[in-house]
């Protein structure tokens, strides 16, 4: 029996139509400011155009200060930013995990969803983020996760692979991190998708979030 589905975090539920049809100043004053998550809006040069109160609190900056920074100033490396923007440009939306940097230097583990939208005819990137648990829990240490993994017949290794997929890693990066062959990773990924009855990696991550299989 499949365990009860956990509701997807309401923080993802931002009305993109509302944002895309309003000027940037109104975006923060209404939709983004009211979001139950830390939200940043950046341009194609990764400059911060807007930030809601939760983002300012999470990063330790006043809004006026944060708006003078770029995403690289809060911990996102240029190469990682280029990859995220490229994926958002291609698909309209991407997701993953990262470490941001607090004003005092502390690392902040987050999960993000980035959506490319058009504002006044120009592309901007909406970063919706929430804090992750600082330590990754295995199924053995988390009873709820263990039950969900057992319901889907996922092994510990498959659960580990699923977490890395949710972190935004491709097959080659997963192979390097786990020190296994690329073919081994591909086999595990196929099995994970099959057991979750997922249409693809993004669908698998959505299912995993709903059932608390990943952080």
Kindly report, residue by residue over 120-179, the tens digit of the pLDDT.
Answer: 788 999 999 988 764 344 555 567 778 888 999 999 899 989 988 887 778 988 888 788
Residues 157 and 114 in one domain: no
Q: Is residue 149 located within the same domain as residue 121?
A: no
Do residue 107 and residue 153 come from a single domain?
no
Strands 48-51 and 38-42: antiparallel
Q: Which of 109, 131, 153 is the last residue of a domain?
A: 131
77-109 pLDDT per residue, tens = 888 899 999 999 998 988 888 878 899 988 788
Looking at the structure of the chain, the number of domains it has is: 2
Is residue 38 a contact partner of residue 55, using CB atoms and an 8 Å limit?
yes
Q: How far is CA 190 from CA 35, 54, 154, 183, in A?
A: 36, 38, 12, 11
Whether 199 and 106 share a structural domain: no
Any domain includes 5: no
In 3D, which of 8, 65, 71 has the Cα closest to residue 39? Answer: 71
Q: Does 85 fall in a domain?
A: yes
Start-to-end CA distance of the chain, whole Å, equals 22
Assigned domain for 34 exists: yes
Kindly state the average pLDDT of the residues 48-74.
Answer: 94
Where among 131, 152, 170 does a domain terminate? Answer: 131
The whole-number pLDDT of residue 6 equals: 35
Of 13, 18, 42, 44, which is closest to residue 29 (Cα–Cα)? 18
pLDDT at residue 183, as a whole number: 96
115 and 164 housed in the same domain: no
Q: What is the pLDDT of residues 1-47, one digit of tens each?
A: 333 333 334 444 455 555 555 555 555 556 778 788 899 999 999 99
pTM, rounded to two decimals: 0.60
103 and 186 housed in the same domain: no
Q: Which residues of 54-86 are buried (b: 16+ CB within 10 A; e: fewer)?
A: bbbebbbbeeeebeebebebbbbeeebbeebbe
pLDDT score recorded for residue 144: 73
Q: Is residue 215 part of a domain?
A: no
Residue 136 lies in a domain: no
**Tokens 């502390």 label which residue?**
106
- 147: three-class secondary structure by DSSP: helix
Is pLDDT above 90 for 71? yes
SS3 for 89-141 is: HHHCEEEEEEEEECCCCCEEEEEEEEEEEEECCEEEEEEEEEECCCCCCCCCC
Helix (H) or strand (E) holding 166: helix 156-166
Indicate whether 3 belongs to any domain.
Answer: no
In CATH, what number is assigned to the domain containing residue 96? 3.30.450.20
Q: Do 54 and 92 fall into the same domain? A: yes
**Shared-domain flag, residues 125 and 167:** no
> Each residue of 166-211: pLDDT tens digit?
877 789 888 887 888 999 999 999 999 999 999 999 889 888 888 8
CATH code of 205's domain: 1.10.10.10
Backbone angles phi, psi at 36, to 5 degrees: -85, 40
Q: How far is CA 110 from the centre of its chain?
A: 7
- pLDDT reported for residue 190: 97
Same domain for 148 and 127?
A: no
Percent pLDDT > 90 in the chain is 41
Q: What digits encode the pLDDT tens for the residues 51-61?
A: 999 999 999 99
82 with 170, same domain: the answer is: no
pLDDT at 14: 55
Please check whether residue 148 lies inside any domain of the structure.
yes
Residues 20 and 117 in one domain: yes
Per the domain annotation, does 40 fall within a domain? Answer: yes
Last residue in a domain, options 131, 156, 188: 131
The residue range of the domain holding 76 is 10-131
Question: Are 44 and 99 found together in one domain?
Answer: yes
CA dihedral of residues 70, 89, 128, 141 (deg, nearest 10): -110
């Amino acid at each position: 029996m499949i365990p009860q589905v956990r509701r997807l975090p309401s923080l993802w539920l931002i009305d993109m139509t509302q944002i895309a049809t309003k000027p940037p100043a109104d975006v923060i004053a209404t939709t983004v400011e009211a979001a139950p998550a830390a939200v940043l809006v950046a341009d194609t040069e990764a400059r911060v155009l807007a930030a809601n109160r939760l983002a300012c609190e999470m990063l330790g900056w006043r809004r006026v200060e944060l708006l003078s920074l770029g995403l690289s100033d809060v911990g996102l490396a240029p190469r990682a930013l280029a990859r995220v923007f490229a994926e958002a440009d291609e698909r309209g939306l991407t997701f993953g995990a990262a470490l941001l940097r607090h004003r005092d230097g502390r690392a902040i583990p987050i999960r993000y969803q980035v959506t490319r939208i058009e504002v006044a005819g120009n592309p901007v990137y909406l970063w919706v983020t929430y804090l992750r648990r600082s330590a990754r829990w295995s199924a053995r240490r988390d009873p709820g996760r263990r039950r969900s993994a057992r319901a889907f017949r996922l092994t510990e290794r498959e659960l580990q692979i699923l977490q890395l997929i949710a972190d935004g890693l491709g097959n080659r990066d997963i192979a390097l991190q786990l020190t296994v062959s690329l073919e081994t990773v591909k086999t595990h990924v196929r099995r994970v998708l099959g057991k979750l009855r997922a249409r693809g990696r993004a669908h698998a991550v959505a299912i995993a979030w709903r059932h608390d299989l990943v952080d």
